Structure 1
Amino acid sequence: MAVRDPYKVLGVARDASQDEIQRAYRKLARAFHPDINKGPEAEEKFKDVAEAYAILSDPEQRRRYDTFGADFRQVPPDVDPAMWARTRRGAGAGATSWAGAGRGPGGGFETRFGEDIDLDALFGGGFFGRRGPGGWGPVPGADQEAELEVSVEEAYHGGRRSITFDGGRTIQVTLPPGVTEGQRIRVAGQGGRGVGGPPGDLYLVVRIAPHPRFRVRGRDLHVDLRLTPWEAALGTSVPVRTPGGEAQVRVPPGSSSGRRLRLRGRGLPNPRGSPGDLYAEVRIMIPATLTDQERRLYEQLAATSSFDPRKA
C-alpha cells in the first residue's frame, strides 16, 4: 500500500537535514502522542508521523522513496531507476501494480502492468521488507519535555518529587541539590512510547517559583536587609535567613539603602564547582509613627547635622 508523503507529514523540505527531520518528528510525536492528545484522530496521526520518520531517518529508505515515490516498497531492490521511470510513463496514470516476470537478457526485470501478482510469494516472502507493526519497523519513542516548578528551598536542598501527568501517570523524580532556572533533568525511559522500539526520555525543565524573601539570579540569591537609620549609620551585625540556615552579616558604618553586602558561598550549591553567593541589599526603614522622645531626637539630629543627601 502506498504511503503518505513523509515530507508533508513531518512538514519538512525534501532537502531537510537529519537534525531537522528529528526535530520535526519529536515535535509532532509529542503533539499527537495518545498519552497527551485524546483527540479522535491523534492516534492515526501519531502512526503517520512514526512511519514518516522511519522512512526519512533511514538513509536507504529515504533514497528509495526519493527515487521511486510512494510505492517504493513494491519495487524490487535491483530495479534501474531510469527504467522504472520509463515504464511508469509508458503504463499511464492508471497503472498501479508492478509484476516481475523473470529477468531479461540484461539482468534487469522484464515488467508489465495491469496484472496483480503476489510479490511476497514470488520472491519467497518478506519482499516488502516489513519490519514491524504497520510495516515501518521499530521506531523509538520521542523525547518529551515538561516544566517542573520548584521552590527556592527545593532548589537548594534537592529531594524527591512525585509528578502526575494527564491521564493519571505518576513518576518519582530525584532533584539534585543546586538545580537552577532552565536546567533540564533527564528521566530515562519516561518519554513517548515507541512503536516496537524503546520509549524516549523525559526532560524536566526547572522553573523556580517566586519566593516572598529570596530573588534568584543564576546560583546567586538576593534578599532585602532591613535596617534602622542608626544601624545603617553606626554599623552593626545582624542575622539574615538563608535557605541553608541563619547567617550573620556585618553592616559597615555609613551604609545607605541599595548597598549590597555579599555572603560568599551562601547561595545555591553547585555540585560541579563553587556555590553561588547571597547578596543582602540594605533597606533603611523609618518608623511610620514616632514617639515624642523619638521626634525630639530626630529634631536634635536635624538641627545638628550638616549632611545633605541631595548634594552627596
Structure 2
Amino acid sequence: MEFHDYYQTLGVSRDASADEIKKAFRRLARKYHPDISKEADAEARMKAVNEAYAVLSDPEKRAAYDRLGQNYQAGQDFRPPPDWGEAYEFSTHGFSPGEEAEFSDFFSQLFGGPGGFRRQGGGHFRTPGGDVRAEVLLDLDDSFNGATRQLSLQLPQTDAQGRVRWVTRSLNVKIPQGVHEGQIIRLAGQGAPGMGGGPAGDLLLEVRIKPHARLRTEGRDLRMTLPLAPWEAALGATVAVELPNGHLKVRIPEGAQSGRQLRVRGKGIPGTPPGDLLLDLQVVLPPADTPAARQLYETMAQELAFDPRPSAKQ
C-alpha cells in the first residue's frame, strides 16, 4: 500500500493553519468538481482532495496522521503498525460505509473499520505521547558519585490545529551513581505529552562523559597511562593512583616494562559488577641534564651488562 501525502494533495505545507487548509480545499474543489470541471481525471482528483481534507480538517485525525506519517513520502510503501487501532480513540464522528467507500484503502486502514481508529461512544481522542531522546553530558566524577543536572529540553507539542510546535521545558534529573558512556537512562512519563489524556512518553537520556585529563572510559572500565621511574619499574614499587573517589595504592611488580598492562579489578566505574582499572605502564627516563645525572648514566653504561638490542647481533 502506498503512503498518501495529504499535504501534497492539497498543495499546502505541513504547518499550514486550518484556514489555509480550508482555502486550499475550496480552490481545488472549484477546479475538480465533476459538475463543472473539464479536467479528464476530475472525478479521481476530487476524491483525493475530499479524502485529504477529511483528515487534515479534523484536528484529531491530523495529529494522528502527522505522528504516524512523519517519516514517509508520497508513493512510499506503507504499512501501519499492528497496534495502530489500539493506540488511538477520537471524539469526532466516523464515516459511514458509503462515505468510506469513496476514499482509498490507505484511508480505510488508518481511519475506518477494524484496525483503524477505535470509535467508542462518548469517548475522546486519546494517544500516548512519543518518547524523547536527549543527551546528558557528565563529568567522570558524576559517574562515581552521582549528580543532579538541570536539562532544558525541546519537546514537540501538537496544537488544536494539528500543527507541531517546539516548546522548552526545564527538568531536574537525578543521575544515579555508576552511569557510563552510552548508557540510556529512561525517565518514565517525562517525554512528549499525550493527547486527550493519553499517557506521556518517556525521556531517554544517553549518557556522554566529558574527556578527562588522565582517565579514559571503556564502558565501566577506566584506562590510564601510568608513568614510572626506571627504578620503580626495575625494582618494583607501590605507587599512588588518583581516582575520582580518592587515591588507590597499586603495586608495581619487579621488572615491569613499558607497554605492560596491569588490571586492578573492581576499581573502575561503580556498578553491579563494577568496572576495572586498566593501567598501561610507561617507563619514563629522567634527563641527563646535570653533571650528577650524566655520571649516573655513565656508571650504568659501564657497569650494567645490558643490551637492549640483542637480536641485532644475531
**Alignment TM class, shorter chain as reference:** 0.5 to 0.7
In the other structure, the counterpart of 1:184 is 184
In the other structure, the counterpart of 2:218 is 217
Cα gap change, 1:256 to 1:57, in 2 (>3 Å): closer
Task: State the SS of the aligned residue for 2:310.
Answer: coil
Aligned length: 221
Counterpart of 1:310 in structure 2: which amino acid? R
State the 1:236 CA deviation. 0.8
State the 1:304 CA deviation. 2.1
Identity %: 39
Q: What do the CA deviations read for 1:96-128 (whole angstroms, capped 9, x no partner)?
A: xxxxxxxxxxxxxxxxxxxxxxxxxxxxxxx99
Counterpart of 1:170 in structure 2: which amino acid? S
Cα gap change, 1:59 to 1:170, in 2 (>3 Å): closer
How far, CA to CA, are the matches of 1:269 and 1:252 in structure 2? 26
Asked if structure 1 preserves the Cα contact closer than 8 Å seen for 2:262 and 2:280, the reply is: yes
Counterpart of 2:241 in structure 1: which amino acid? V
State the 1:311 CA deviation. 3.0
How far, CA to CA, are the matches of 2:17 and 2:221 in structure 1? 45
How far, CA to CA, are the matches of 1:43 and 1:227 in structure 2? 69
State the 1:204 CA deviation. 0.3
In the other structure, the counterpart of 2:308 is 309
The reply to whether residue 41 of structure 1 matches residue 15 of structure 2 is: yes
Unmatched segments (≥5 aa) in structure 2: 7-12, 19-55, 70-79, 87-92, 104-118, 155-166
In the other structure, the counterpart of 1:283 is 282
How far, CA to CA, are the matches of 1:172 and 1:229 in structure 2? 50
In the other structure, the counterpart of 2:65 is 51
In the other structure, the counterpart of 1:256 is 257
Q: How does 1:1-312 map to 2 (within 5 A)?
A: 7-8=3-4, 41=15, 48=62, 50-51=64-65, 56=80, 73-76=94-97, 131-132=123-124, 137-166=125-154, 167-196=167-196, 197-270=198-271, 273-311=272-310
How far, CA to CA, are the matches of 2:310 and 2:193 in structure 1? 69
Task: State the SS of the aligned residue for 1:165.
Answer: strand
Identify which of structures 1 and 2 has the higher relative contact order when contacts are C-alpha pairs closer than 8 Å and 6+ apart: 2
Asked if structure 1 preserves the Cα contact closer than 8 Å seen for 2:152 and 2:168, the reply is: yes
Counterpart of 1:174 in structure 2: which amino acid? K
Counterpart of 1:145 in structure 2: which amino acid? R
How far, CA to CA, are the matches of 2:190 and 2:265 in structure 1? 38
Cα gap change, 1:75 to 1:40, in 2 (>3 Å): closer
How far, CA to CA, are the matches of 2:306 and 2:152 in structure 1? 61
In the other structure, the counterpart of 1:105 is none
How far, CA to CA, are the matches of 1:190 and 1:164 in structure 2? 12
Asked if structure 1 preserves the Cα contact closer than 8 Å seen for 2:149 and 2:174, the reply is: yes
Q: What do the CA deviations read for 1:236-272 (whole angstroms, capped 9, x no partner)?
A: 11111112210101111111111122222111111xx
Counterpart of 1:269 in structure 2: which amino acid? P
How far, CA to CA, are the matches of 1:290 and 1:220 in structure 2? 39
Q: Give the superposed CA RMSD.
A: 3.7
Q: What do the CA deviations read for 1:254-304 (whole angstroms, capped 9, x no partner)?
A: 11111122222111111xx32111122211112345211111110111122
In the other structure, the counterpart of 2:72 is none
How far, CA to CA, are the matches of 2:250 and 2:85 in structure 1? 67
User: Would you identify which runs of 4 or more consecutive aligned residues in structure 1 move more than 4 Å?
Assistant: 42-47, 52-62, 127-131
Asked if structure 2 preserves the Cα contact closer than 8 Å seen for 1:239 and 1:249, the reply is: yes
Cα gap change, 1:281 to 1:43, in 2 (>3 Å): farther
How far, CA to CA, are the matches of 1:145 and 1:57 in structure 2? 21
State the 1:172 CA deviation. 1.0
State the 1:188 CA deviation. 1.8
* TM-score, normalising length: structure 2: 0.60
* TM-score, normalising length: structure 1: 0.61
How far, CA to CA, are the matches of 2:123 and 2:146 in structure 1? 44
